[in-house]
Amino acid sequence: MTHGANGSFQKLVVHTLTSDFRAGTAVVSVNQVASLAPNSVLVRNQFVGINASDINFTAGKYQPGLTPPFDCGFEALGEVVRVGDGVVGLRVGQPVLTSQYGAFAEFQVVPASGCLPVPRLDVRFLPLRVSALTALVALEEIAKPKRGGTALVTAAAGGTGQFAVQLLKSKYGCTVIGTCSSDDKITYLKSIGCDRAINYKKEALKDVLKREYPKGVDIVYESVGGAMFDDGVRGLAQGGKLIVIGSIVGYKDGSAWNASKGPAPPAASGPQLGPLLLTKGASVHGFFLPHFNKTIPGHLRELVRLLDQGQLVSGVDPRSFVGVGAIADAVEYLHSGANVGKVVVSLRPPTHQKAHL
């Protein structure tokens, strides 16, 4: 395997609990892996995915009691470079998607059961492991959209929103409304099938819903929180469902998640939820991907097939970030709201791979 000149490789480590990702992390060099446990593999990561929730992890929100230093990062795409005893179905050189804590590293030891083989080392496969999977599982297992219904996706041009838009349109035949923050994102949303794209900086979501969808929307796929959550609840149709998959507006200040109590209500002031849900016969459901681990392999295989057959667009933001040291830049870029599609960092200078929409 190829390591640094001194036989070491780089990874990112959390040294201080904080939602300020840059302040709480540092790049460190570690020695190469000398041996592998049975049923595990060593993966050389080519691409790692950036998620809004990375700052929740550095703040210690997901594993209360975990004390620094610890590794961070949730997802990677790389190739197997060494195989441990007892591993079946994986070979050296096999491109794989992985998802486990510690993905922000040039090399990573991963249980063989946690590797999903993909056809090639193509950056477009990376967003499938967390972003697309969140959308598919939340819709399939919780929302259960009815064909011909109406759906609203907030942060629709982001990493997971883009997949919710496509799946709601192609798989469930819904009319899809999407919110975003720029006209460039409007163009992208239209290109992936969004029927009504709303730049919330120019149009008020609640006004659009009231004027253009007076009967309400059947499904709301919500990841922003705050006022966007409020407007989504108000916009629900009779019997509608709002699925909370995140609450980005409260990640930086910690208001969206308490380490000891878990997620906080996604609205700061909030509508009168009880009466609203009562009169609409509607519901709000929380969604957390790890609760569905048993269904993940099958859903992932479906996503890989859809992408490989050209039935799914996996949008990767075109801005280039290279190296472990660029991960903090990428996290801050995502939280600036400027990205269109998934934010990705290449841990090695790409030779023929290009991030693209």
Q: Are residues 97 and 204 in the same domain?
A: no
**How far, in Å, CA of 285 to CA of 278, rounded?**
15
- Identify the pLDDT of residue 357: 35
**Nearest Cα to Cα of residue 142 among 268, 315, 292:** 292
- In sequence order, the β-bridge partners of residue 99 are 75
Do residues 15 and 91 share a domain?
yes
Is 286 found in the same domain as 182?
yes
Same domain, 238 and 335: no
The answer to whether residue 356 sits within a structural domain is: no
Which pLDDT score, from 0 to 100, does residue 270 have? Answer: 53
Distance CA 28, CA 25 (A): 10
Tokens representing residue 345 in the block: 């960092």
Interatomic CA distance for residues 14 and 71, integer angstroms: 6
Q: Cβ contacts of residue 351 below 8 Å, gap of 6+?
A: none
CA distance 134 to 215: 28
Cβ pair 19, 329 in contact under 8 A: no
Q: What is the pLDDT of residue 35?
A: 84
Mean pLDDT of successive 10-residue stretches along the chain, which has 357 residues: 60 97 97 88 97 93 90 96 95 95 96 93 95 96 95 95 97 97 96 97 97 97 92 95 87 61 51 80 91 89 93 95 98 94 88 40
Q: How many domains does the chain have?
A: 2
Is 297 domain-assigned?
no
Domain extent for 213:
133-291
Asked whether residue 117 is domain-assigned, the answer is: yes
101 and 192 in a single domain? The answer is: no
Residue 306 lies in a domain: no
88 and 201 assigned to the same domain: no
Q: Please tell me the predicted confidence (pLDDT) of residue 263.
A: 55
Query: Hey, is 288 helix, strand or coil?
Result: coil
Q: CB of 138 within 8 A of CB of 287?
A: yes
Same domain, yes or no: 146 and 281: yes
pLDDT of residue 356: 36
Please indicate, yes or no, whether residues 178 and 269 belong to a single structural domain of this protein: yes
Residue 246 pLDDT: 85
